[in-house]
Structure 1
Amino acid sequence: MNLSELKKEMPEIFESVKKDVRKILGRHRAGLSLGLVEMGMFRGGFIGGMHFHPGTEIVMNKSPLKIILDSQPYEIVWAYTYHILLHEYIHSLGIIDEWQCRAITLNISEEIFKEADHPAIILAKNGIG
């Protein structure tokens, strides 16, 4: 999979995120758009994505995404994309506190994917950096 192919698949992954959040939390938000931007990487980590509260855009950082696309199988790429979009979507619902957002991201991932070794659960438990 390359970045161009992932761009086409991101809206479908985001629909899964929204459906899963509605199922688990009973909440949703319409009118959001997705984007990819270069935010770079720095020693010790990177930012996977951002939502600027109370805005209507969720962006993913292309820099780590390109590395993941080049080095990981499809299921990891999908899980990473799902994880970042889920985390930022939860922020868009008004959950601004980072630790609370991470806990909710993990809870939803565990409820949806069930198996502890699912890549989305591993990312939610261990972080992305």
Structure 2
Amino acid sequence: MDIIEQNKKRLSDAQGYNEIWEIVKDNVRAVLKQHRQGMMLFLDDFPLRLGAYHPLGTNNIVLNRALTQVVAAITKSQKSLNALIYTLLLHEYLHALGHIQESEVRSLVYKVTKNCLGQDHAATRFAKLGPWSLLYGLPLDNLKGPKRVMEIVKNFEATNEKYIA
């Protein structure tokens, strides 16, 4: 099994944010030779037009919980949901690595997904067309759920590194 097929299988089989995150980090390291330790993931509810964000100068990624839940309900596909989460985490991780310009980040997301998951993978299509291509035709501004408390994803990044020795 070649590396693209291995990555596809890993992403398809991933059972949580932390497993998808490990794939994102491995893929970025393989393609861009960049890595950053100590990232944290938070889930919050935003308008559906916002997928995630990385507050500059932090080690945080905030993912739109409402968007992932809408995609899960509409697609009923764990593969599609994992591809969406992969794409969003990859985009914000690149910001955390110092890539600030949106046009550069979008180009790098496409490069990483194409090289690691292949041209035909859903994540590569999301990288090219945007993750909202899944929701094309839906009135995103009219879909609103309750605002819940932001939550931290526990055990998001497994690390053997000690911050204080």
TM-score normalised by structure 1 residue count:
0.87
Aligned to 1:5: none
Aligned to 2:44: 37
User: In the TM superposition, what is the alpha-carbon distance from 1:18 to its structure 2 partner?
Assistant: 0.4
- State yes or no: 1:96 paired with 2:103: no
Say which of 16, 21, 46 aligns to 2:23.
16
Aligned to 1:62: 65
User: In the TM superposition, what is the alpha-carbon distance from 1:25 to its structure 2 partner?
Assistant: 0.7
Letter in 2 for 1:67: V
Letter in 2 for 1:76: S
Aligned to 2:123: 120
User: In the TM superposition, what is the alpha-carbon distance from 1:117 to its structure 2 partner?
Assistant: 2.2
Please list every run of 5 or more consecutive structure 2 residues that lacks an aligned counterpart in the other structure: 1-14, 133-165
The CA RMSD over aligned residues, in Å, is 1.0
Pairs aligned (count): 117
Say which of 68, 71, 74 aligns to 1:71.
74
Please list every run of 5 or more consecutive structure 1 residues that lacks an aligned counterpart in the other structure: 1-7
Q: Equivalents in 1 of 2:86, 2:57: separation in Å? A: 21
Letter in 1 for 2:88: I
Deviations 1:81-108 (A, max 9, x none): 0000000000000000000000000000
Task: Say which SS state the counterpart of residue 95 (structure 1) adopts.
Answer: coil
Deviations 1:31-90 (A, max 9, x none): 11011101123xxxx110000111110011112111111121111001000000000000
Q: Equivalents in 2 of 1:19, 1:85: separation in Å? A: 13
Q: Equivalents in 1 of 2:66, 2:30: separation in Å? A: 32
Q: Which has more helix, going by share of residues?
A: 1
Say which of 86, 89, 92 aligns to 1:85.
89
Structure with more contact order per residue of length (Cα contacts < 8 Å, sep ≥ 6): 2
Structure number with bigger Rg: 2
Q: Equivalents in 1 of 2:50, 2:103: separation in Å? A: 15
Letter in 2 for 1:98: E
8 A Cα contact 2:87 2:131, kept in partner: no
Q: Equivalents in 2 of 1:48, 1:109: separation in Å? A: 17
